[in-house]
Copies of this chain bind each other. A is one copy, B any other.
Amino acid sequence: MIAAGDDLAQIIHTAVIQTGLDWMDDDIVVLAQKVVSKAEGRLVNLNDVVPSPLAIEYGAKTEKDARFIELVLRESNEVLRVRQGTIIVEHRCGFVCANAGIDHSNVHGPWGDEEDWVLLLPVNPDESARKLRDGLHQLTGKKIGVVIIDSHGRAWRMGTVGVAIGIAEVPGLVDLRGTADLFGYHLKVTMVAAADELAAAASLIMGQAAEGTPAVHVRGFPYALRPTDLKELIRPKEMDLFR
């Protein structure tokens, strides 16, 4: 159980050493958003939230708690869809997701009390990832990549998949090949969302126990680490096929 102020780099480093493993350059740590948010003290009690008229309106429309919706609105740049059971937004950090990523399942307050607590995403997940990278580098002397992941739904497909919401050193996009596209007469570029594929793979390993297995130690990632940030993975509005 992670609490506000915990040193995640130290905790992860200790866990890796205790299991008899070591660190190598270009290892990657994939972390569930939940533990990063908890370490950053992003718990909010709904009893401290006063919903705006818009939050009350959307609360009725979605059949969700208006105080919860109020937090969603505060965490968002733009509301994209509001339907029964669903509110989809552009999060402050630019990516599109349901509920602004606010988690209200299995969230406990600082004294173990369950009711009315929710967990916001980290203030700046890229910054959180970079801090962890630096912390792990200090502890290990190795160059280590970090991906912070959450589970997102998709526009056209059922179910959630792990996606990156903050990255350090792990490339968001990788250019797989550049071959002439005979059909459009353009240079064809296939960009694979490498950090998202890794996020999905790690999510599969975290599996049922996101609370129990919130970190995955990755070795053998097939692409070179390099400076990066999540912007690589966010479709610019003018290219967004949804809006």
| Copies of chain A in the complex | 2
Compute how far the CA of A202 lies from the CA of B179 in the bound complex, rounded to whole angstroms. Answer: 23
Taking the closest CB of chain B, its distance from the CB of A44, in whole angstroms, is 13
- Chain A residues touching B, range: 35 or more
Compute how far the CA of A104 lies from the CA of B208 in the bound complex, rounded to whole angstroms. Answer: 39
Structural contact, A155 and B241, CB atoms closer than 8 A: yes
CB contact between A65 and one of B182, B200, B201, B233 (< 8 Å): that residue? B182
CB contact between A193 and one of B155, B159, B198 (< 8 Å): that residue? B159
Q: What residues of chain B lie closer than 8 Å to A177, measured between beta carbons?
A: 105-106, 208
Q: What residues of chain B lie closer than 8 Å to A198, measured between beta carbons?
A: 204
Structural contact, B96 and A156, CB atoms closer than 8 A: yes
Taking the closest CB of chain B, its distance from the CB of A168, in whole angstroms, is 18
Taking the closest CB of chain B, its distance from the CB of A165, in whole angstroms, is 11
Q: What residues of chain B lie closer than 8 Å to A53, measured between beta carbons?
A: none
CB contact between A183 and one of B86, B104, B182, B240 (< 8 Å): that residue? B104
Nearest CB in chain B to that of A66: its residue: B183
CB contact between A154 and one of B154, B172, B183 (< 8 Å): that residue? B154
**Does A37 touch B at the CB level, under 8 Å?**
no
Provide the A148-189 mask, 1 if CB < 8 A to any CB of B, else 0: 000100111111111100000000111011010111111010
Structural contact, B193 and A88, CB atoms closer than 8 A: no
**Does A205 touch B at the CB level, under 8 Å?**
yes
Structural contact, A190 and B96, CB atoms closer than 8 A: no
CB contact between A200 and one of B86, B88, B151, B196 (< 8 Å): that residue? B196
Nearest CB in chain B to that of A114: its residue: B182
CB contact between A197 and one of B85, B162, B242 (< 8 Å): that residue? B162
Taking the closest CB of chain B, its distance from the CB of A77, in whole angstroms, is 13
Sample 19 A-B pairs with CB under 8 A, ordered by A number: A63-B185, A64-B183, A96-B156, A104-B182, A155-B155, A157-B233, A158-B193, A158-B233, A159-B172, A159-B194, A159-B196, A159-B232, A159-B233, A160-B191, A161-B196, A161-B200, A162-B197, A201-B204, A204-B221
